[in-house]
Structure 1
Amino acid sequence: MRELFDEVAGKSPLDPREASRKSSRTPLRKRFYTSAGVAEGPDGFAVTLDGKPVRTPGRNPLAAPTRDLAEAMAAEWEAQKENIDPMAMPLTRLANSVIDGVAKDVQAVADDAAKYFETDLLFYRAGFPEALIARQAEHWDPVLRWAAESLGAHFILTEGVIHVRQPETAVAAARGALPTDAWPVGAFHVVTTITGSAMLALALKHGVLDGAQVWAAAHVDEDWNSEKWGADDEVEARRATRLRDFEAAARVLKAFS
């Protein structure tokens, strides 16, 4: 049984996408249970299979702090057909990462995500064409205005990709708005690494943008290129996989907002 959960969850404490890549190279296992459910216990709301608790690769109970999240995980297990497809279980993978990895050193994970405040996607703007400049501003400027007005975080924008050092006061102000508990920190890290922007993750966490708006903002440049040159099937497939993980992380952040 242990091998099954290793395949479903992966072994990376920070990046469920790496778990997805590992799982995609592993033959799928047959479904071995009749039904999935949720049971409240000392660890929170635990996922059960035929009434028996599920365990993570680290042998911890697969349990969420809220019933809603636990029921969403149970639904992932219930939705499996003849075979168990880890790619279709993003919330379970995220939960395992949080329980086995993030919870052991929450501050280290938060610090890793906070590094993006130094080189965030939103700080580096196109120099041309004018339409792309305008589109970036439309999606990104509201987040930066909110950070300046609500957090006192005033960041420096630049054109191109040459690194610009951000004010320490701005970085510190943004870091002060990060979540502090394992589940939202793990979800924040996933959103940050998928989008390339801790600022967008912060906007999602604080309700400045919803999930669809954050996803669109993170893909302004990619969507622009697709409109001009056409979409690439492989790129679209990878994007669909990232979207599943993003939506799972966004759901967790919303649960703790």
Structure 2
Amino acid sequence: MFVVTVNDRPLQTPEGAPLAVPNRALADVLSAEWREHGDRPLTRLANTAIDRMPVLRLQALEAVLVFAATDLVCHWADAPLLLVERQRATWQPLLDLVAQRHQAHLMVTAGVMPIAQPRAAFSALRDALKAMDSFHLTVLHEATVLSGSLVIALSLIEGAIDAEAAFRAAQLDALFQAERWGLEAETAARHDSLQAELRLCARFVTLLGA
């Protein structure tokens, strides 16, 4: 582990633990955040991983799995056809990827009808999450809440898609409607914020693997 320092002074988390991260690349970026005296979004994720995740790991894991029960990408429209085709083209590859990598075969439904996902899929996903360290699980939780989809978040965290693709997948329906009716300023601002947060998640994961 690498302790983050500023002017040779080791930094601590809000709970008083050493701000220590898995590699030098991430430590250097966090140190730069502190020297800039602005927002420290990457430091926030690291603090959560160090202070909160060890204590709340089980709760965080189960909270993420809740999303799989009603995952966004498993609930397709039944009309119009153009929207359905776009959902299939965007979401099906992500479902296939999760099935291939984790043997988690999630079912798809159309319209508003609920669907019970296979227990084996939940078991496989739980095993995948249990294998994650605190840093990866922290950013996965963040990306899942942001996107409304464990499938999208896993695809982002594992490098299968970038932040822009994750945003388009998460906001597919809204973007489809915007093409027809336009985008209100408030919605556009929310989209900008979501894109920025997803880019942050992607950058954090990239740095973890550096």
**Same fold by TM-score greater than 0.5:** yes
SS at match of 1:101: helix
Instruction: Return the alpha-carbon distance in structure 2 between the equivalents of residues 136 and 51 of structure 1.
Output: 51
SS at match of 2:128: coil
Matched, 1:236 2:188: yes
Q: Which has the larger radius of gyration?
A: 1
For 1:214, the aligned partner's letter is A
1:60 corresponding residue in structure 2: 17
Asked if the contact 2:104–2:124 (Cα under 8 Å) also holds between the matched residues in 1, the reply is yes
Instruction: Return the alpha-carbon distance in structure 2 between the equivalents of residues 190 and 155 of structure 1.
Output: 21
Going from structure 1 to structure 2, the CA distance change for 1:79 and 1:158 (only over 3 Å counts) comes to same
For 2:196, the aligned partner's letter is R
Matched, 1:48 2:28: no
SS at match of 2:5: strand
Instruction: Return the alpha-carbon distance in structure 2 between the equivalents of residues 149 and 48 of structure 1.
Output: 41
Gap regions ≥5 residues in structure 1: 1-43
For 1:59, the aligned partner's letter is G
Q: Which of 163, 166, 180 in structure 1 is aligned with 2:117?
A: 166
1:93 corresponding residue in structure 2: 44
2:55 corresponding residue in structure 1: 104
Instruction: Return the alpha-carbon distance in structure 1 between the equivalents of residues 14 and 123 of structure 2.
Output: 35
Instruction: Return the alpha-carbon distance in structure 1 between the equivalents of residues 32 and 185 of structure 2.
Output: 29
1:120 corresponding residue in structure 2: 71
SS at match of 2:115: coil
Q: What TM-score, normalized to structure 1? A: 0.73
Q: Could you say what the CA RMSD is over the residues aligned between the two structures, in angstroms?
A: 2.1
Asked if the contact 1:106–1:181 (Cα under 8 Å) also holds between the matched residues in 2, the reply is no
Matched, 1:186 2:142: no
SS at match of 1:215: helix
User: Deviation at 1:209?
Assistant: 2.4
The structure in which a higher percent of residues are helix is 2
Asked if the contact 1:94–1:248 (Cα under 8 Å) also holds between the matched residues in 2, the reply is no
2:170 corresponding residue in structure 1: 218
The number of residues matched between the two structures is 208
1:145 corresponding residue in structure 2: 96
User: Deviation at 1:65?
Assistant: 1.4
User: Deviation at 1:168?
Assistant: 0.6
2:27 corresponding residue in structure 1: 70
User: Deviation at 1:106?
Assistant: 2.3
Instruction: Return the alpha-carbon distance in structure 2 between the equivalents of residues 229 and 78 of structure 1.
Output: 44
Instruction: Return the alpha-carbon distance in structure 2 between the equivalents of residues 176 and 206 of structure 1.
Output: 15
Instruction: Return the alpha-carbon distance in structure 1 between the equivalents of residues 135 and 151 of structure 2.
Output: 19
Gap regions ≥5 residues in structure 2: none
Matched, 1:209 2:161: yes
Q: What TM-score, normalized to structure 2? A: 0.88
Whose relative contact order is higher, 1 or 2, with alpha carbons under 8 Å and at least 6 apart? 2
User: Deviation at 1:174?
Assistant: 2.5
Instruction: Return the alpha-carbon distance in structure 1 between the equivalents of residues 112 and 32 of structure 2.
Output: 43
Asked if the contact 2:164–2:195 (Cα under 8 Å) also holds between the matched residues in 1, the reply is no
For 1:188, the aligned partner's letter is L
Going from structure 1 to structure 2, the CA distance change for 1:243 and 1:60 (only over 3 Å counts) comes to farther
Question: Identity over the aligned pairs, expressed in percent?
Answer: 34
For 2:106, the aligned partner's letter is F
Instruction: Return the alpha-carbon distance in structure 1 between the equivalents of residues 142 and 122 of structure 2.
Output: 19
Instruction: Return the alpha-carbon distance in structure 2 between the equivalents of residues 148 and 190 of structure 1.
Output: 22
